A and B are shown apart, each in its own frame.
Chain A
């Protein structure tokens, strides 16, 4: 191993990267675009309540008061629908997913119940909804909870069961704070995997590796230079992602030594996988397909974009055998939960995996012409 040779390779790789402006742009811009797009979506979900259309057929003070209660307790933004229109047609025409209809006689029934204690007096609130909407179920659950609260209040008795939320986190976090570590893990993976497979396959195909094999550079020098190069790119990319996240979304993330540690393990693991793939990929055109076959399942199933708890049970089990899952979990443990023990456990799993695939990658890397 020669530091002089490793640094010479590092300089060539960094120069090539810097001069390949298109590659440089997309390498740095792709994760930023993901953060901006998903961050904006999640931020709007975090900050804005549901929109609710209400058709008040009773047009009384009591019905107006109930609408006010919905607005305050359900955190809804209320849009009033003209009582003269057909509510079903309104849903269809205006592309809304639900219209809540307060029937005529609402106030009369309310007075019978409140003043005359007539327990037979009741009112049916109708939800006219579009079942194809993904968020309508949540909206109906919120409405049910608000209506249950109103019923409870009218009974005049204090509720027996009460609930209070207690977050496992010391601070209040938004979804973007969970999302950014996942994107860091994913982008370091794609960077390491594709750079290794694409670059090594192209250099082998062009005969550059054959030329290098007639010089004193060894396979170890070449691989260490690649690792160092990928790590530098990963750190640059992570810094850019964090700067954008802080600047645009004012994220609240804990940065300590775990971050570079997980980046390094991520780099080792996926450069190792890349080296193994390069052994079997003959042409540059096949390299992208080979890289995609590894990166896509990792990207979508290991919890980079959404929690794996949203997936079916068998997919959750599958996710737990993916190396990127442990990078995601480890980075979140370190950056969001500041849970060092959990980060240590995740780093141990990904560390063992990285060591195994990296050694296999070194063995698989063909330097001299063995034939």
Chain B
């Protein structure tokens, strides 16, 4: 995505205060047409508050938000028909079928030409089109929620935590739908606390922590710019491996599966560690050396949430 594309979301010095709590602290960013913009942060970082202000369903304390060139506080009626929203924890009417639900939302937007069959196909719910909402699994419900967000053929789609609470298979199904939307060139504003999701889908990522944006760039640039190290993972059966590595001057940590993770500056350091282990007679089952991903960047920038995300990823 080039910077020449026209801006569709312009947020400047946005602040939201709940009593003493400063939920959003003077953030500014721009999302351009056709871009998939991921708003990344742990629970409680201010993601949903920010996105709900942009979606016109929550008011700000100060700052300005323009969506499709319009002030969100003054032009809600003009904005709403041009955006699609999957709110966090989306739910619908229990006894209404998939097809009826899409027809209902289409009528709310007073649209006669909505391609209901096309939407059902897009989110891969053809077999479930006559199923009532209450009988759908979590993943199917989220896919229906995405289809609902598209009934008015919106220019901007907001997806607030679209895969939270889903099992790994259902999450991948939703990602496939989102990749399809990306191919169609939709502008997508995605909030998530899954780094993998942002890395897979986003053209641009803003990392928010405690109400402030602490980094913003493309996933590649964020990784290149913030994590100039390699990550060595050792699957060890020998207790002394951890001590040997630490005694060599590195800072190993255990992950949730008792693997040892070590940040190293260059490939020579990997060789140094392996030689050291060999000299001490320590053994290990497996090793992995890779560049860091967004998760490690996030850890480095915020010092939080790594364990939660690691645990979730390992659970897959």
Residues on A lying within 8 angstroms of B by beta carbon are 2, 4-5, 7-8, 11-12, 15-16, 19-20, 206-208, 210-217, 368-371
Q: Which residues of A contact B107 (CB under 8 A)?
A: 4-5, 7-8
Q: Does B30 contact A (CB under 8 A)?
A: no
Interface size class of B (residues with CB under 8 A): 20 to 34
Residues on B lying within 8 angstroms of A by beta carbon are 18, 52, 55-59, 77, 80-81, 83, 85, 87-96, 100, 104-105, 107-110, 132, 145, 148
Distance of A312 Cα from B59 Cα, bound (Å): 53
Q: With A15-B96, A16-B96 given, is the CB distance from A214 to B85 under 8 Å?
A: yes
Distance of A5 Cα from B59 Cα, bound (Å): 25
User: Which of A7, A8, A207 lies in contact with B90, CB distance below 8 A?
Assistant: A207
Distance of A216 Cα from B59 Cα, bound (Å): 18
Q: With A5-B107, A8-B104 given, is the CB distance from A369 to B91 under 8 Å?
A: no
User: Which of A4, A12, A213, A215 lies in contact with B93, CB distance below 8 A?
Assistant: A12
Residue of A nearest to B76 (CB): A368
- Contact between chains at B92 and A371 (CB < 8 Å): no
- Contact between chains at A211 and B87 (CB < 8 Å): yes
- Contact between chains at B96 and A12 (CB < 8 Å): yes
Distance of A211 Cα from B89 Cα, bound (Å): 10
- Contact between chains at B55 and A4 (CB < 8 Å): no
Distance of A206 Cα from B87 Cα, bound (Å): 11
- Contact between chains at B108 and A8 (CB < 8 Å): yes
What are 14 A-B contacts with C-beta separation under 8 Å? A16-B93, A207-B87, A207-B90, A208-B93, A210-B87, A211-B91, A211-B92, A212-B108, A214-B85, A215-B105, A215-B108, A216-B81, A369-B52, A371-B58
In the complex, besides A210-B87, A211-B145, A368-B56, 4 extra interface pairs with C-beta distance below 8 angstroms are A214-B57, A214-B83, A369-B57, A369-B58
User: Which of B56, B91, B108 lies in contact with A208, CB distance below 8 A?
Assistant: B91
Q: Which residues of B contact A2 (CB under 8 A)?
A: 110
Distance of A7 Cα from B108 Cα, bound (Å): 10
Distance of A99 Cα from B109 Cα, bound (Å): 77
Distance of A225 from chain B, by nearest CB (Å)? 11
Among B89, B107, B109, B110, max chain A CB count under 10 A is at B107
Closest 4 pairs (CB-CB, A-B): A8-B107, A214-B85, A206-B91, A19-B95
- Contact between chains at A368 and B57 (CB < 8 Å): yes
Distance of A117 Cα from B96 Cα, bound (Å): 90
- Contact between chains at B55 and A208 (CB < 8 Å): no
Q: Which residues of A contact B91 (CB under 8 A)?
A: 206-208, 211
Distance of A12 Cα from B108 Cα, bound (Å): 12
User: Which of A11, A208, A215, A370 lies in contact with B92, CB distance below 8 A?
Assistant: A208
Distance of B116 from chain A, by nearest CB (Å)? 14
Distance of B58 from chain A, by nearest CB (Å)? 4
Residue of A nearest to B106 (CB): A8
- Contact between chains at A216 and B96 (CB < 8 Å): no
Distance of A285 Cα from B107 Cα, bound (Å): 32
Q: Which residues of A contact B58 (CB under 8 A)?
A: 368-369, 371
- Contact between chains at A370 and B110 (CB < 8 Å): no
- Contact between chains at A211 and B108 (CB < 8 Å): no
- Contact between chains at A11 and B90 (CB < 8 Å): no
- Contact between chains at B87 and A214 (CB < 8 Å): yes
Residue of A nearest to B18 (CB): A371
